[in-house]
Structure 1
């Protein structure tokens, strides 16, 4: 989604409104999270909730799904939420528009793209050249899934605009339905839809865009710089809880992770949940700590630049603050 098209009034309001700290000089005990979507990909977040890690840190956390990068960032900028869980590219889009109160990435949750290449008629073996001349149903332009997809195609010598028929005019929620109804030879899918389609016999996952595009600060907890300066102690407690959850996910078997997150996916088949968690765990999508390293940040911008979505490069320290994640990694045992 092209977030830099937001009305100027939204950014102006965000610049004028200062989110208040709790009365009496006390840090806020409640933090409101806006997640960009409800996804198994965000398993460590649901673990932090279900295992009581936020409560252990003395926090009351309210989770809401804000349905889309633009809506999530608008909610953050207008103080409807305190912390956003969304792709790091959104903080860059806001920065590119100009802001007196930039959005700062402070704790990473996932470190790879979460989409997979799904083939309607997979052969005995897969080669990326098989996509040439095909109809490819991709993700919406300007979002990280689309950018990671195009980055991967170009990496394998495929020009997305010339070597195949690229379809990008289908809304995110309608992409699975479009493929199921016959659109596309290949489709770029998130889980659990990829596993559901495999179970239904509609085709097969033949490659991972997460593996192909490398480590990225793909989904990150972020907040406004003004919120960090006023609520540093609460942000540290929040990051400590995230670190506990990330360590827990890294150390536990798939079955235990599924049990922990199942309440957040009551309508998802148990076997599908297991397959999805295993797939993401095996490819290292879940971050084991919240630290965003400079190589990841540079790779993110390389992906954006390849897709033509980066106006100018943003220095690593401008929109990344690792103080909280580094302290959490040291203190959480």
Structure 2
């Protein structure tokens, strides 16, 4: 009996000690900040520029990178405490902040414009589809119902005298959109570089650029979890300082920026397509609050937000959801 008790006590000591060691190892090896971003999204070039130029190391900050397929998945990562900060679309950030109470705050913009409604080249060349109105009765590929691109498609339909019910939307990953086009599904709406790549490959042509639908519309943003914002404001400030530096560097060094983008996107074989995509994007870190409020109105109008979750005081909600003081302090 005493021998069994001794063995049991030894096991308890080993288990507890192991837990302490693991916890200590995790604390020691945890980076200063875990940042999420979208895979091969040219809108988020600023983050890649900062990494390539070594600016996080220069500031003495250790960063763990987390890559996601879309903004909704990145918001889920915030919920699961996988990331502290992230580059993602304003629309999914807004949707999941409200519907799922995923507590994040938008701190800076990443880009304006940079999307397009693309149509199958064969349909455009033979005159079948040369205007948004020609999409009546057709299916259009979108990245998701709560995305910036879905909102832009709705605006374009309205501007052409159509309603969303005049078409069918299909949720598709942008990387598969161009190859999915057919006579019944002749169009897609996506962010760059997928549009320019489809054009370069001779699969699709722009029916309308997003800047023609809504000039200077907001798109991607930098966000932080509220808990990280409260616990590590100095780290957050440094990340935003680096982001602003990268945005300004891109504007001042477009040729070098395109080279970085070509390597990152694995499009060295199509640098001209990267240049086309780059020139369709406005790199700007200033938050377009009015634009985000328009997204919110759209999400409410399309019944994408849960009715009981819709903020009663929109202005107060936006005041807590958007914090530009970090950008203003750079």
Task: Name the counterpart of 1:81.
Answer: 83
Separation in structure 1 between the aligned mates of residue 95 and residue 264 of structure 2, nearest angstrom = 30
Structure 1 pair 256–173 and aligned structure 2 pair: CA distance change class (3 A): closer
Question: What displacement does 1:86 show?
Answer: 1.2
Task: Name the counterpart of 1:318.
Answer: 320
Separation in structure 2 between the aligned mates of residue 278 and residue 174 of structure 1, nearest angstrom = 23
- Conservation of the 8 A alpha-carbon contact between 1:140 and 1:146: yes
Q: State the superposition RMSD in angstroms.
A: 2.9
Counterparts of 1:19-34 in structure 2, within 5 Å, are: 30-34=32-36
- Counterpart secondary structure, 2:224: strand
Structure 1 pair 242–186 and aligned structure 2 pair: CA distance change class (3 A): same
Task: Name the counterpart of 2:263.
Answer: 263
Question: What displacement does 1:216 show?
Answer: 4.2
- Counterpart secondary structure, 2:290: helix
Counterparts of 1:41-120 in structure 2, within 5 Å, are: 41-97=43-99, 99=101, 102-112=103-113, 114-120=115-121
- TM (norm. structure 1) is 0.77
Separation in structure 2 between the aligned mates of residue 38 and residue 222 of structure 1, nearest angstrom = 18
Question: What displacement does 1:129 show?
Answer: 2.8
Structure 1 pair 182–108 and aligned structure 2 pair: CA distance change class (3 A): same
Structure 1 pair 61–142 and aligned structure 2 pair: CA distance change class (3 A): same
> Over residues 246-270 of structure 1, what are the superposed CA-to-partner deviations in whole Å (9 max), with x where a residue is unaligned?
11112223x2211233332234422
- Of stretches 190-199 and 118-127 in structure 1, the one that deviates more from structure 2 is 118-127
- Conservation of the 8 A alpha-carbon contact between 1:112 and 1:211: no
User: Which structure shows the higher helix fraction?
Assistant: 2
Q: 1:159 aligns with which of 158, 163, 183?
A: 163
- Conservation of the 8 A alpha-carbon contact between 1:107 and 1:322: yes
Separation in structure 2 between the aligned mates of residue 216 and residue 302 of structure 1, nearest angstrom = 15
Structure 1 pair 183–60 and aligned structure 2 pair: CA distance change class (3 A): farther
- Counterpart secondary structure, 1:81: coil
- Conservation of the 8 A alpha-carbon contact between 1:139 and 1:145: yes
Separation in structure 2 between the aligned mates of residue 263 and residue 77 of structure 1, nearest angstrom = 31
Task: Name the counterpart of 2:203.
Answer: 202
- TM (norm. structure 2) is 0.78
Q: Gaps (5+ residues) in structure 1?
A: 1-21, 329-333
Structure 1 pair 224–139 and aligned structure 2 pair: CA distance change class (3 A): closer
Q: Gaps (5+ residues) in structure 2?
A: 1-25
> Over residues 64-91 of structure 1, what are the superposed CA-to-partner deviations in whole Å (9 max), with x where a residue is unaligned?
2122333211211222111121122333
Structure 1 pair 73–136 and aligned structure 2 pair: CA distance change class (3 A): closer
Separation in structure 2 between the aligned mates of residue 62 and residue 262 of structure 1, nearest angstrom = 23
Separation in structure 2 between the aligned mates of residue 98 and residue 186 of structure 1, nearest angstrom = 31
> Over residues 157-203 of structure 1, what are the superposed CA-to-partner deviations in whole Å (9 max), with x where a residue is unaligned?
211213xx323154554322211x55523222333332233233334
Separation in structure 2 between the aligned mates of residue 166 and residue 108 of structure 1, nearest angstrom = 31
- Counterpart secondary structure, 2:323: coil
Number of residue pairs matched by the alignment: 293
Larger Rg: 2
1:294 partnered with 2:289: yes
- Counterpart secondary structure, 1:222: strand
- Counterpart secondary structure, 1:189: strand
Structure 1 pair 135–73 and aligned structure 2 pair: CA distance change class (3 A): closer
Question: What displacement does 1:113 show?
Answer: 5.5
